[in-house]
Structures are given as structure tokens and as C-alpha cells.
Amino acid sequence: MQAIIDELAKQAGESLAQVSSKETLASFWQEYLSKNGKIAALMKNLRTVAPEERPAMGKVINELKQKVQADYDAAADRVNQAELAARNAAEAVDITLPAKVRPMGALHPLTLVRNQIIDTFSGMGFEIYEGPEIEDDDHCFTRLNVPKDHPARDMQDTFYLSDELLLRTQTSTGQIRTMDAKKPPIKVLVPGRVFRSDSDATHSPMFHQMEGLVVDKGITLCDLQGMLDSFVQQLFGSEVRTRLRPSYFPFTEPSVEVDVSCFECHGKGCSLCKHTGWIEVLGGGVVNRKVLENCGIDPDEYSGIAFGIGIERIAMLKYGINNIGLMFENDLRFLKQFQE
């Protein structure tokens, strides 16, 4: 039995000398120190030893087990230190190298202007509503006082998905949906994308609008001009003034085009305002009685004002952009100009 113990001690020492990784360390433990290992087998074989020799042999086996365990712990520490050193070497950072530069992003100019408009009108008590981009003919035209034979459809009747469904041509559809769901008083702002068959330096087949609607008792065109005065002064400066010119829209009566005094030349006349001193920015008016009736609102008790803002137009004026296509090309040279 003693010869077997001595031979096992020799084998364990030689095996432990070959240990160089956690995998070989685990194999050594499994072979020698586990419940089914060779040292545990020695303990089981004590029953073959004469009874009077068993205490002495058990002591020798325990001493072997303690020695092999101690050598195993030392080898495990050595392997861990070696792997840590290797990992540190692999993860070493050369601090003399130039740092990686991660360019900062920025909000798109359309997003900047959209946020500014929303902030301005939210401060006046407007709620925000975003309607669906796929609309039915009834919401997009008919209930906005634009029947199927109306000439105003010629500019907008486009991008149909079926006989009754189309991509909305204006965020005015949000007026109808809001008045269907809520009765006066109403004060809502409807931002979103709209679609028309336009494409040139100042028009795009897809662009963004911001529709505003106020319905309450005693609302007049004066309320519209007062709100728009505050709006343009927030965006273009405190010296800017508004001017209303008569116009025509099927869903408002009376209707107006809204101009602002040129913020570039302060009304003196320049290339931006085409030497008129004024720049057209949006359209609006008093909500047509028929539109109110179509939504179940009594036009003899309530009146309303509505206005539509082209976000691209405001952005082009505010930032001096001369081609609407620049805002959809994702050219970083253009977009970086709007980093704050």
C-alpha cells in the first residue's frame, strides 16, 4: 500500500508540473482530488489493509491529500496570475495614440423649427394632435368643404391608395378628427407630413405642415392676428410684424394670407422679400360655417379660426436655405451647419 501511495504522489507532482491553464487545472482536480479521483480511491482501498495498519495508512493518505491540495492551490494561483497578466497585456491602451473622436449629432433643421413652433403655441394653451397619414376622402376633402367637383382638388388630388383612401394632402384633416372627438372650446395644433404632386426648388412631393385650430364663442380674425404676431416674433425677432391679405380657402371664410415684415432688411426691401418689405409665411382664416356644421358644431353659437404653416418654408426663411431638396438629402455637410 505504501508503494502505491508513493507512486501516486510522484504521478501527482509530475501532472501538476504540466498544468498551465484552467482547463488542465480542472482535469488535474478531477483526476486526483474529486470524489471519484485517485486519492479518494486510496481511502476506499483501506479496507484491504490489515486492521492494525489502517490508522497509520489513513494518516499517510490524508497527508498526501493535504499536500496535493496545497500544491493544487498554488498552481491555481499561478494560472490565475498568468491569465490576468495575459489579459492585461492584451487590453493595454497606448495613451500616446490620438483619441477616437466620435462626432456629435444634431437635430435636423425641420425638427428644430417644428419644436420651436410647438413650444410657441403650447405656451398659448394649444394641445398637440397627430392624425393618420393615410386618410379617407371624406376627412381629407369633403368635410373640409371641398366636394369631388371642387376645382381646389386639382392641386391636391393625388397619391390615392384606393378610390376612397389617399395620403393626406394637408394636416387640416386633424381639424375634422378633433372636432368629431371633442366639442368646444378647442385649441389644437396638428403637426405632420403631407403629400402632394409638387417638385421644384421650393416644393417637395412630401413635406411638413402644422395646422392650428381654435373653436370657441366669440372667436374672430383679430384673435388669429394676435396669436400669429406672437408666433412670428418668437421665430424671427421681436421687431417683426404681420400683415393679413384677403385670399381664398374652401374651409375658411374669410380667408387670409399672412405676411411678415422682412426680418432681413426690416421692411426696406431686399432680395429675400423681393424688394417688397414683406414675406408670405402661411395662410389662415375664420373656419367656414359648413365645416363646423359637418362636425356637429352650431356655427351660430361657436366660431373658429384655423391656420396652416409649412414647416419647410419657415425653416428655409429662418436659416436662409434656397432649395427644399437639401433638407431631404441627408448630406452631413449641410446638416452639420445646425449643430448647436
- SS3 of 90-126: HCCCCCCCCCCCCCCCCCCHHHHHHHHHHHHHHCCCC
Distance CA 159, CA 165 (A): 9
Side-chain-side CA neighbours of 93 within 13 Å: the count stands at: 4
Q: What DSSP string runs through 6-52?
A: HHHHHHHHHHHHT--SHHHHHHHIIIIISTTSHHHHHHHGGGGS-GG
Q: Which residues pair with 127 in a beta bridge?
A: 188
Distance CA 210, CA 309 (A): 5
Q: Which three cell numbers stand for residue 103?
A: 462626432
**Could you count the other beta carbons within 10 Å of the beta carbon of residue 48?**
9
Q: What is the DSSP letter of 185?
A: S
Report the relative pairing of strands 278-287 and 252-261 from DSSP bridges: antiparallel
Residue type, 30: Q
Distance CA 271, CA 274 (A): 5
Distance CA 171, CA 149 (A): 21
Distance CA 51, CA 44 (A): 14
Cβ(334)–Cβ(328) below 8 Å:
no
- 253 is known to lie in a ligand binding site: yes
Binding residues: 253
Binding residues for Mg(2+): 253
